[in-house]
A and B are shown apart, each in its own frame.
Chain A
Amino acid sequence: MSTVRVVLPGHLRTLAKVTGEVTVDVAEPATLSTVLDAVETSFPMLRGTIRAHGGGQRRDFVRFFACNNDLTHEPSDAPLPDAVANGSEPLLVVGAMAGG
């Protein structure tokens, strides 16, 4: 079991009623898909806000980073970097910077 730290964008922290990072426990190997599944299980109000309902497609203005790498276009079932899987680095869920 891996304990993964996740940093949510501000709007989603407000929605989930959390103020800092969240942590989720997932089976090894931790992947983007299993981590987001666990986040949505812990915080059901986030369903549909990171990934679309019905198929889990990433929303257009959401991206994923960790360890200074852009994981947005990595396969969702690929193992996350070891530093994320062992909790030393967080997975960043980022709302794209766009105005308005």
Chain B
Amino acid sequence: MSGVRVLVGTRKGAFVLTADGKRKDWTVDGPHFPGWEMYHLKGSPADPNRIYASQSTGWHGQLIQRSDDGGKTWNPVGNEFAYDGVPGTHQWYDGTPHPWEFARVWHLEPSHTDPDVVLAGVEDAALFRSSDGGQTWQELSGLRGHGSGPHWQPGAGGMCLHTILVDPRDAERMYVAISAAGAFRTTDGGKTWQPINRGLKSEGIPDPEAEVGHCVHRIAMHPDRPGVLFMQKHWDVMRSDDGGDSWHEISGNLPTDFGFPIDVHAHEPETVYVVPITSDMHHFPPDGKLRVYRSRTGGNEWEPLTEGLPQQDCYVNVLRDAMAVDSLDDCGVYFGTTGGQVYASADAGNTWNAIVRDLPAVLSVEVQTLP
């Protein structure tokens, strides 16, 4: 019988949550790597037993862990992320030059076809690739070196490359997003990159329509329509129908257009999920009500999904990498909160249940649909 494996990264360890296809009865395994910040875990689409995990602390830096048995056992692989050449400077918060310094890996994106190939998005923003199962890492330095790098600035969480989307039909075509530089696209496997931020507006920066400088929080894509992108920006929910060449706002009737995650239904490319958050000052849900909003029209028209979610006195946040969908029928939707809850919906968001309620603050949620 089919099943799901939910990979949860938290401030103090990783957890693996498993269930059969009904997604009602869950087994919680963990903590793995207790006490370490687990920014992200993600399984290989080509080999579900292969999982990569980003492990770090301020004391001992970055490690990459790899499991070859579906998360039961782990072994550290390579952790040397050396920028290509002389790294140079980007802009600090106050606009002064600041040296490029590696801090941590925010996001791991395994190849669709080769379990040994994996991409890593890091802080300070850069993209690395491994083709030997994570043992060694090489920077795809065309991104950082394409010209605008010296003008990139960090967001409040650091200058992180947090989103990596690979076109499932053409691995040479990728999208990445950086806070607070914006979105970029390559069509040659990462050798050259193009900023794709036309249509984004970010009040508060000197040129609100600048080529770079936009605080993109997350981009999502349906695998069957890789030219259609959905974006949760610092403010505004956005959509592109031309692979990022242009963007238009689809915030519509959302109670607030600030938030972090965004995701797309596995079988309905026009069904999109966001979690509105009051503001960049508060970072908690409006009115103390945790609501996922779903649009079945590709944006603009949104409905709140509340059944099973706390509707009073709830002041958690949902971070950018902490939402995922499975590919069962009905589509399962999952998200984790900074309060340590992981919520699951086995009916595309209509109803929700907490798989666990008291984990450390959740940094990331990914799900694997198992045969």
Contacts and interface: CB of A to CB of B under 8 A. Distances in A.
A47 B79 contact: yes
Interface in B27-63: 35-36, 57-63
B321 to A, nearest CB: 20
A30 interface: no
B307 interface: no
A50 B79 CA distance: 13
Contacts of B60: 9, 11-12, 15, 49-50, 59, 61-62, 95
A27 interface: no
Contacts of A11: 35-36, 57, 59-60
Interface in A25-78: 45, 47-50, 52-54, 59-62
A66 B82 CA distance: 32
Given A45-B76, A49-B63, A54 B82 contact: yes
B82 A49 contact: no
Interface residues of A, number: 20
Contacts of A61: 58-60
B58 A53 contact: no
A96 interface: yes
Contact of A52 (B36, B61, B76): B61
A54 B80 CA distance: 9
A95 B80 CA distance: 21
Nearest to B79: A48
A8 to B, nearest CB: 10
Interface in B1-42: 35-36
Nearest to B60: A49
A49 B56 CA distance: 10
A54 B101 CA distance: 13
A53 B63 contact: no
A49 B36 contact: no
Nearest to A16: B76
A52 B102 CA distance: 11
B82 A62 contact: no
A52 B83 CA distance: 14
B58 A98 contact: yes
A54 to B, nearest CB: 6
Interface centre among A9, A15, A52, A62, by most chain B C-beta atoms within 10 angstroms, is A15
B62 A48 contact: yes
Interface centre among B57, B60, B63, by most chain A C-beta atoms within 10 angstroms, is B60
Contacts of B36: 11
A60 B60 CA distance: 9
B110 to A, nearest CB: 21
A9 B63 CA distance: 16
Contacts of A12: 60
Interface string A65-99: 00000000000000000000000000000011010
Contacts of A47: 79-80
B76 A15 contact: yes
Interface in B75-111: 76, 79-80, 82
Given A48-B79, A53-B82, A15 B59 contact: no
A36 to B, nearest CB: 13
B76 A53 contact: no
Interface centre among B35, B76, B82, by most chain A C-beta atoms within 10 angstroms, is B76
B129 to A, nearest CB: 17
B103 to A, nearest CB: 12
A59 B59 contact: yes
A9 B80 CA distance: 21
A48 to B, nearest CB: 5
Nearest to B76: A45
A11 B57 CA distance: 10
10 contacts: A11-B36, A15-B76, A47-B79, A47-B80, A48-B80, A49-B63, A59-B59, A61-B59, A96-B59, A100-B58
Interface of B: 35-36, 57-63, 76, 79-80, 82
